[in-house]
Amino acid sequence: MKKKVTVSSLMAKKQAGDKITALTAYDASFAKLFDEQGIDVLLIGDSLGMVLQGEEDTLPVTTTDIAYHTRCVKNGTQYAFVIADMPFMSYSTPESAYRNAAQLMAAGASMVKVEGGRWLSDTITGLVQRGVPVCGHLGLTPQSVHVFGGFKVQGREEDKAQLLVDEALALEAAGAQLLVLECIPTSLGKAISERLSIPVIGIGAGKCTDGQILVMHDMLGVSANYMPKFSKNYLAETGDLRNAVQQYIQEVKSGQFPSSEHSFE
């Protein structure tokens, strides 16, 4: 009998070495399809700015946008764990984070995700104390795209890799119960996953993290912009939506995905 995925069951997966599978979702129909195939985690990503709204980056997305799509996804979900992105500048102060996180939790999220390192420690601690579970996000953080000068791999230099390890440990210490790592070398994804007790989900972070997440439009090959190196078009391989999701799940759990061609060294 299928059981609802929780923070505790995700932790149990990490401890058992059972890979976590995750996809973004933005509406009830796709959420239901993914949920029925057995996806562990659904993320209402601010990626909706690019894949749904046609923006150049994620910055124009609002909390109201995320809340609307979170409600849609929640209505189509029975088992998967639902995480909602907190958009650009919606958590610039602890008080704004509390207010905006409350809106996303009321819309149906079971956890919120924030981008950034130790500067968020007090905010994360405050959110957790107020009953809001938090997922961190390090590496290439799309909301900081203009600081990075584009969508670039992070942590290749030794000092910057160590900084990311330190930042990850700080987020865990602050109370984050999950971490997403994006666009970092495989070896760094492995090192951080081994150092942290909380589950680490990668996107372009190699196969040694505790799980994988892809933007659904990339996984289905229908992105309006471009196909990232770290993604794979499963619909082209299977010709069927449900089979595409099943193959993605199987390849993540077996360690077949991501391969070296979808990773950074």
46 annotated to bind ligand:
yes
Contacts of 92 (CB under 8 A, 6+ apart): none
Q: What letter does residue 46 receive in the DSSP assignment?
A: T
Query: Which residue carries 């958009």 as its tokens?
Result: 87
Is residue 56 annotated as involved in ligand binding? no
CB 10, CB 32: distance < 8 Å? no
Residues contacting residue 119 through CB under 8 Å, at least 6 positions apart = none
CA 155 vs. chain centroid, Å, equals 18
Q: Are 248 and 214 in contact (CB under 8 A)?
A: yes
Residue 136 phi/psi, 5-degree rounding, is: -85, 170
Which one of the listed residues 167, 172, 182, 251 is annotated catalytic? 182
DSSP for 147-208 reads HHTSS-----SHHHHHHHHHHHHHHHHHT--EEEEES--HHHHHHHHHH-SS-EEEESS-TT
Beta bridge mates, 113: 85, 135
Task: Work out the number of other CB atoms within 10 angstroms of the CB of residue 151.
Answer: 14
Per the annotation, does 207 bind a ligand?
A: no
Tokens of 220: 């289905």
Q: Which amino acid is at 1?
A: M
Please say if 182 is a catalytic residue: yes
The response to whether 85 counts as a known ligand-binding position is: yes
65 among annotated binding-site residues: no
Binding site for Mg(2+), residues? 46, 85, 115
Give the active site residues. 182
Binding site for 3-methyl-2-oxobutanoate, residues? 46-47, 85, 113
